[in-house]
Structure 1
Amino acid sequence: MSSENTEGPEHGLVRHGIVVGVDGSDQSTCALLWAAREAGRRSAPLYVVTAYTVPVFAASSMDAGYATVDDEVIRESARAVLDEALSRLEGMALEVYPRIETGDAAGVLLDLSEEAELMVVGSRGRGGFVGRLLGSVSSALPAHAKCPTAVIPVRTGARLGHPELGRKPGRDRDRNAPAAVEPVVVVGVDGSEQARTASLAAAEEARSRGLPLRVICSVAPFNGSLAWVPAPVDRKALHADLAVQLAAGRDWLQSHYPDVVITVDLVDGPPAEVLIEASATSELLVVGTRGRGGFAGMLLGSTSQGVLHHARGPVLVVPDRADPRLEDRSSFGPMVPQAG
């Protein structure tokens, strides 16, 4: 592991590596450990980044010396956070580049996503000067990053061999124990092109890990909130149509990933709840940044936001992007009509 505090190659630019944001919280430590394992699996460099801002009251103080001292103190705190993170990586055969950045944590990581292969953050963090890795970061970053973003909840620590992370004092050990993890990658789809992009990314994740892929489409229950529906919905007919579309989508995905075992599941239930439940036992859950809305749900709108806040395992959010493989989907069978 490179232990010097360097800005990395190419004059400080990230080049196709994995970037993980740390702030000293248990959540960011879980993100760090997961990112390190992923960097080792991919043989990719790991950029460990912390960010800080100078408080407005200090920066605007009439006493210029006060602002300077305050900046130095806060930067030293950020350096301590970074050093503690690096100590977690000692002994690992990784190419590591530590970085301290000045600025809003979400903005810093968004900028780095322009060149990164993967961004990794915790599902929430400590707040304060060093930065927050949820509210601002793990809400804003997945929706706007230029590369996929993995959001790692603190309970993932047990999977990584650190069950003490995130455990509340006095909580029963058995009640805090995570569910057994199935060797499977799960992707949530809703018929949108964004979901098809996510399914391609999920299939690649499954292929690279040597795991099967489970494709889930959930149908939310119709209740009083859907009183605008102009006529009674025939759920049996809806399920039959969706089953045909899912089968066609599976055949399309299988044509691009013939070596991956792919299954599809059509599930009744609110999309966010279905995917959160799946995250408890899957190796990785993959979602898109947004979806079509309506009956089958949205993937980042309400569904992906709900999943990110409450997931029980790692979630990979895939941004919308052009992919030539999307062009031949229609030749495999019916698709959900796209909004105009």
Structure 2
Amino acid sequence: MSADDVIVVGTDGSDGSGCVVNWAIGQAARMGAHLRVLVAYEIPSYSATNVDGSYVNIDDGSLRERAMEIAQGVCDKASKQGVSVDSHVSPGDPASLLLEASKTAAMLVIGTAGSQGFADRLLGAVSAVVPSRSHCPVVVVPRHQEGSPFMPVERIVVGVDGSDNALTALRRSIDVAAMWGARVSAVSTVPFATGNTLLAWMPPIIDRERVTQDIRVGLNVAVEQALDGREVKVARHVLDGNPAELLAEFSTAVDLIVVGNRGRGGFAGLLLGSTSRELLARSTCPVMVVPSHKRDKNSDPAKASPARTPWERA
């Protein structure tokens, strides 16, 4: 079984994890992929004491038993839908185990918060760490109260800023669209509006029409190269505004948002870019975060970094 045939879903059995599992099963069924259910359980690092001062024995057996029950429940659900499935139950940090699994998977599917709960607009620890360091694309599925939302995937929005990582995300969004027969909207943003009223009194220092046109040209070139002849409908939009805010607005009306983990203004090291980080905290639909990949030495240089020039001019 190759990495392209495996989707890994991380779950902890919490109330919000049902939609995560449903999304992963639906994607595996569509791809004809094998589903691997990963359930991690953490043994407390502190030692509790009884009233008499003796140490309390921590029974990790019960923790493992509960984890196995969760995994079996997901396996049963996937099997009923004709999806090939297995499970992996292990003690340890969930983020670390997921990152290890990402080395041999086509996709990770996780939720926004775990069973310990977080404030509504904050990311859980796993969803804050895994997308920035994963070796494969990560789909972060938000909480949803009823049903199996966001399936089928019919409408996809991808953020494109001219970076190599964003262009990889664009190609990935077209791959997903081709699989589902979905429509794609490729969105580039120009943050002309800063929200600072003092700037309204200053003379313009850039030619907005020129910048917008350059970015539109770059977006069109990038889309055509990413399509590579495939018949996928891709609308192109150049919008004025904050990219994370605009993509979050789109998330209320589409089934999937696709972004790179770091854009042109990205961060050094293994941190998420500001747009993808903010989007994950605000999106109401699943977000696919696509990692950057080192250019293959045998790849076509003309396709490795398409449409850089118009963005650089902007």
Tell me the TM-score normalized by structure 2. Answer: 0.82
Q: Taking structure 1 as reference, are residues 236 and 123 closer, same or farther at Cα in structure 2, changes over 3 Å only?
A: same
Equivalent position of 2:258 in the other structure? 286
In the alignment, is residue 31 of structure 1 matched against residue 20 of structure 2? yes
Moved more, 256-265 or 324-333: 324-333
2:205 and 2:225 map into 1 onto residues whose CA distance is 32
- How much does 1:194 deviate? 0.8
- In structure 2, the residue matched to 1:75 is 64
The within-5 A match list for 1:273-312 is 273-293=245-265, 300-312=272-284
Letter in 1 for 2:30: R
The question of 1:240 aligning with 2:213 is answered yes
Q: Structure 1: which amino acid aligns with 2:160?
A: V
Q: Residues 222 and 306 of structure 2 are in contact (CA less than 8 Å); yes or no, is this contact kept in structure 1?
A: no
The correspondence for 2:178, drawn from 207, 215, 232, is 207
Indicate the residue corresponding to 1:117 in structure 2.
106
**Could you say which residue in structure 1 is the equivalent of 2:163?**
192
User: Does the CA-based 8 Å contact 1:212-1:262 persist in structure 2?
Assistant: yes
CA contact (8 A) 2:37 2:85 kept: yes
SS of residue in 2 equivalent to 1:215 = strand
Query: What residue in structure 1 maps to residue 11 of structure 2?
Result: 22
CA contact (8 A) 1:218 1:270 kept: yes
1: distance between equivalents of 2:77 and 2:150?
Answer: 12
Q: Which whole-Å CA distance do the structure 1 matches of 2:79 and 2:183 have between them?
A: 33
Counterparts of 1:114-263 in structure 2, within 5 Å, are 114-127=103-116, 134-155=123-144, 157-160=146-149, 183-220=154-191, 221-224=193-196, 232-254=205-227, 256-263=228-235
State the SS of the aligned residue for 2:206: coil
Aligned mates of 2:310, 2:185 — CA distance in 1: 19
**Cα offset, 1:39, TM superposition:** 0.8
Residue 327 (structure 1) aligns with:
302
Q: Any unmatched runs of 5+ in structure 1?
A: 1-8, 163-180
Going from structure 1 to structure 2, the CA distance change for 1:15 and 1:260 (only over 3 Å counts) comes to closer
Q: Is the CA contact 1:18–1:117 (under 8 Å) kept in the aligned structure 2?
A: yes
| Structure 2 residues without counterparts, runs of 5 or longer | none
Report the RMSD for the aligned CA atoms in angstroms: 3.4
CA deviation digits over 1:271-293, x for unaligned, max 9? Answer: 11111111222232110010012
Letter in 2 for 1:252: Q
Q: How many residues align?
A: 297
1:48 aligns with 2:37: yes
For normalisation by structure 1, the TM-score amounts to 0.76
Name which of structure 1's ranges 108-117 and 200-209 shifts more when overlaid on structure 2: 200-209
Secondary structure of the corresponding residue to residue 74 of structure 1: helix
Structure 2 counterpart of 1:18, one-letter code: I
Residue 220 of structure 2 aligns with an amino acid whose one-letter code is A
311, 314, 319: which is aligned to 2:286?
314
- Tell me what 1:89 maps to: 78
Secondary structure (helix, strand or coil) at the match of 1:150 reads strand
Amino acid in structure 2 at the alignment position of 1:216: V
Partner of 1:23, secondary structure, is: coil
Name the counterpart of 1:337.
312
Q: Please give the alpha-carbon distance, in whole angstroms, between the structure 1 residues aligned to 2:99 and 2:198.
A: 37
Shift of 1:46: 0.6
Contact 1:196 1:326 in 2 (8 A): no
Going from structure 1 to structure 2, the CA distance change for 1:288 and 1:328 (only over 3 Å counts) comes to same
Structure 2 CA distance for partners of 1:219 and 1:161, relative to 1, 3 Å? closer
Contact 1:248 1:334 in 2 (8 A): no
SS in 1 for 2:80: coil
